[in-house]
Each structure stands twice: as structure tokens, then as C-alpha cells.
Structure 1
Amino acid sequence: MTGGALTSPAISWGAVEVPTVLDHILLGSSDLDEGIAFVKKHTGVTAAFGGVHPGRGSRNALLSLGEKHYLEIIAPDPAQPGSPDHYDLRKLTAPRLVGWAAHPGDLNLFAARLRNANLAFDGPTPGSRKRPDGLLLQWKSLNLHDDQAGLLPFFIEWSTGTVHPSADAPPGCKILRFELSTPANAALQRICTFLDLDVRITHGEEPQLLARIAGPDGRFMTLAS
């Protein structure tokens, strides 16, 4: 995917359309402060530092996009220079969408369904992150081996008792639209239907994630991968 972060409504958007399974979208940046500044410039909202991902080489900042939806700004953690860089964050020249997460419900049941369909995946894998206030967030995640050039999400189930990040991340923004674009839209639609992903899929020249976010003062931020 060769897109980037768009700051004007260059795409013709219709009514609000957000997948019910959408948990969060990931905006990658080579530097966390730069990613936070980018989002503030175009929405007026400052994302709050979330924490680090031990052993994964990244750290993040968050802002709420409405109930059960949030934006994660993810960037390399300077304190983990030798760790893996799953999204090639260090190579980014500007903030851009690098992925999304969906919540399918019980992740163990979802994994069994994938296994019965002979779909290869990793997980469910436990994960955790300690917030600056010391609160520990815990979850399980599952990653498909074939994510269709980054268009398919990873899947997440938050642990019982864990506060969903959208509940106390900085408010004010709302996600209005999230969709996938690809030349193989019919094939991707079949996969998403099987995975119960109620996401809009359009035909495009290249695989791309697209999102539109409204800020509290009437500004809009259109993001692409």
C-alpha cells in the first residue's frame, strides 16, 4: 500500500458507516510526538500517551473515536531499538494508517472456527500494557497468516475487568467512515463475509485502508494507508 495521511476530504464520503466489529484503527508514525502533533493539527484534539509494548518495539498514544472505537497512534519505542518493527514504523515518512483491529467476541470460539476452515493464524496470544497511571490493560489477540496485503484486521478480545481504551481516552473526535479499497473487491468481500466483518469494501487501484474522522470544531481528517 502506497497511500498516506490525507488532510482534506479528497474522497467522496456518504453517510456515517462504521463496522460494528471495529475496535480501533492504527495510525503509524516514525515518531510518537510527530504523530500526536499531526492528529492535533487536523482535529484539535491531543492524544494521551498510552504506554509501551514490551518486546514489540513500540509505544502508543490514544484518543477516543466514540463508544468502543478509538485511534491508536503507534510509533517505535526508542527504549527498544533492537525489537521487531511489525509495521515498518521506522521507515514511515509521514503518518499513515497501518492496520485495524476487530472484536469478534469470544476469541477462542473464533479461533476454533478458523481452525475448522483450515485458515492459518497465530493466537490467541495474551497481551498487556501498563498505563502511565499504573493501570494494567490486558487482552488476547489473533493474527491471520494471510491478511490480504494488510486489509484484514487482527482480532482482539479485551480481558474481563479491563476498561476499554475508548472510555477514558481524550474525547471529542468521532469516526464517521471506515472502508477497504482493493482491485480484488469481490474476493475480499467473500473473505470478510466469512469472518463476519461488516466493513464496506470498494473497488480501487491498490489495496488501501480509508477512514474519516470528525474533530470537535468541525474539522475533518481523512486518513489512508
Structure 2
Amino acid sequence: MIEPRLDHLVLAAPDLDALVADLTRRTGVAPVLGGRHVGRGTRNHLVGLGGSAYLELIGPDDLAARPLPDVFGIDRLTGPRLAAWVVRPADLDATVRRAREAGYDPGDVAPLSRRTPDGRLLEWRLTPNRGDRLDGLAPALIDWQDARHPTADGLPQLRLVSLTGRHPDPPAARRVLAALDVALDVTPPETGGPPGLQAVLDTPHGRITL
């Protein structure tokens, strides 16, 4: 089961242009420029995943700038990583409050924004990419407020087949997910494998795994 309130997945890399080119080659679908994140040193490209969900490819806006942005651990990555998933609850503040009451703190809600290629400023609220996110298994929470949602602009499309998590302590991860009232299938990682998220996509070039 894919969480019905899934807003987007975040695929991060230290070289965004190389990431976009590689995904285009693997899928036959070219992600479109989303825009630049104000004050964060990052840029993103987007591709739809069906309905109101999308895949965000994110990396440094200027590859030559140092240090690289620490957003989603970009400054520590050596290659692409499915770094996060983002859920859009009906009431962001109430979800944060209930999660804290259940023993998990998703962090304080903060305002963010990005400038689209046509000059529009999109503004939203998000729980920060900080704290214990269980190697990306605990989702960020988003409220788009009055902003036009990225999927409303007719993104090129892939299809999300499945989203799963790997964690060495699945019961602990499930407790956090329950506190956030979100659904994610979590199993132990394969022997020697890292914890984290795994997404399977249907593409014009066949099925791929991120």
C-alpha cells in the first residue's frame, strides 16, 4: 500500500545535472526544472508519479559552490539517494501535536519557498529535515497553503508502483510511523544492506528501482 497522502519523494545527489541526465536515460522521461530554493543553495527538477504525487530531484544549484548545501545530506553524498518522502496531512499542526503526544517529535514547522522558472514564488510550510528521521523512513510533513501544487502544472509522468522502507529495528520505525499516522511497509535490510527507502517506478523503458 502507498500512503494516500503522499506528496512527493526526494531523490538527492551531489551533482543534480548528472542525476537528471541519468534518470532521463533510465526512464525515457525528462524531469522538468522546478526552480531554485530561496536561500538554500539548491535547485530541483520534477516528474509526476500519478495523481497529486511527484518525484523531486534535488542537488546543488551551483556545483562549484563550497561548501555544498547540507539539505538532505547533499554535502555528504557520493551518489544519488532516495533521501526522504513527504506527506501532506489535512492539518499539519494537529499532526505534529498528536505525534509529540505519541512520543515522536517531527520538529518545528518552518516556512520555505522556491522561485519557479517563470518567476513565481511558491511558499509552503514544512517540518525540517533535521532530527531522527530513521534514515529517511519518517516522512516530513508539508502544508502548501495557498501555493499552486507542482502537479497542477502538467508534469511529465512516471508511475509509482511501490514505496517501502528498510530498517534494522522495524518495530521502532513502525511506532514512529504510527505516531505520524502514515503507512509504510518496513522490513529489515538485506544482509549488509543499508537502511532507507526504496521506490519502484514503471517507466517507458521498463521498471526501475530507486
TM-score, normalised with respect to structure 2: 0.88
Residues 159 and 201 in structure 2, CA contact (< 8 A), matched pair in contact too:
yes
Within 2, Cα distance between the matches of 1:154 and 1:106?
13
Runs of 4+ in 1 over 4 A off after TM superposition: none
Could you give the per-residue CA deviations for residues 18-65 of structure 1, whole angstroms, max 9, x where no partner exists?
A: 211211111112112111111111111111111111222211111111
For residues 94-153 of structure 1, what are the alpha-carbon distances to aligned partners after superposition, in whole Å with 9 as ceiling and x for unaligned? 322111111122112222223434543432111111100122222100136321233211
Give 1:175's aligned amino acid.
L
**AA in 2 matched with 1:152:** A
Aligned to 2:6: 22
Aligned length: 205
- Select 1:104's aligned residue among 89, 104, 109: 89
Alignment partner, residue 42 of structure 1? 26
Partner SS state of residue 87, structure 1: helix
Q: 1:85 to 1:42 in 2, by over 3 A?
A: same
Name the aligned partner's letter for residue 198 of structure 1. Answer: A
Q: What's the secondary structure of 1:187's corresponding residue?
A: helix
**Residue 220 of structure 1 pairs with residue 207 of structure 2:** yes
**TM-score normalised by L of structure 1:** 0.82
Map of 1:8 onto structure 2: none
Letter in 2 for 1:141: L
SS of the residue 2:118 aligns to = coil
Q: Which residue of 2 aligns with 1:77?
A: 61
Q: What is the CA–CA distance in structure 1 between the aligned matches of 2:38 and 2:3, rounded to whole Å?
A: 30
Alignment partners' CA distance in 2, 1:148 and 1:157? 22
2:139 counterpart residue number: 153
Q: RMSD across aligned C-alpha pairs, in angstroms?
A: 2.1
Q: Quote the sequence identity (%).
A: 37
Ranked by relative contact order (alpha carbons within 8 Å, sequence separation 6 or more), the top structure is 1
Structure 2 gaps of 5+ residues are none
Whole-Å separation in 1 of the counterparts to 2:112 and 2:79: 28
Which residue of 57, 66, 76 maps to 2:41? 57
